Every structure is written in structure tokens, then in C-alpha cells.
Amino acid sequence: MASVQLGTSRSDQFFCSQFVMEAYNHAGLPITSADPRWVSPADLLHMREGDVPSLPVRQPLRYVGHLKYNPPPVITADGTATR
């Protein structure tokens, strides 16, 4: 696990799932009313649509698919594109 520290005090330190929850709260789109410091990665995972959450959910999350990097084609000297 990793943590992020945004300020100078210990209370400004977040784990990844807590950081996601705080980001949504800061944007005015809270996912849950639970304190972000009590949200684990597993809790966040179970907030998907159709899943059984362990915390009260205001807005279920939707899975949008794996993000994959698709590099741009390389244009050769003769003008053809290759990957």
C-alpha cells in the first residue's frame, strides 16, 4: 500500500482509497457519507453497481473497463503508418 501526504500534518495523509473518496467529496460528488479515513480499497471496490457495499453508498460506481495505452502510429519515411 502507498500513502499520499498533502499537507504538513499527519491528518493530511491518505491511503489511495481515502484519497479517491476525498477527491469526490472535494468535487461535491460524495460517494458515501462515511469518513474517508475509514474507507479501505475493498470498501471502494464493493461500491460498484450490483455489488453489496460494506458502507452506505450515495452513488454506486460504474466499471468502465481496463485502461490501455494505445501508442500513436509511427509514420515512416514513405508515409505509411506502423505500430
Residue bearing cell 457519507: 33
Catalytic residue among 16, 29, 45, 75: 16
Three-class HEC string of the chain: CCEEECCCCHHHEEEHHHHHHHHHHHCCCCCCCCCHHHCCHHHHHCCECCCCCCCCCCCCECCCCCCCCCCCCEECCCCCEEC
Catalytic residue among 62, 66, 68, 83: 66
Residue 16 annotated in active site: yes
Residue 66 annotated in active site: yes
Q: What amino acid positions are annotated as catalytic residues?
A: 16, 66
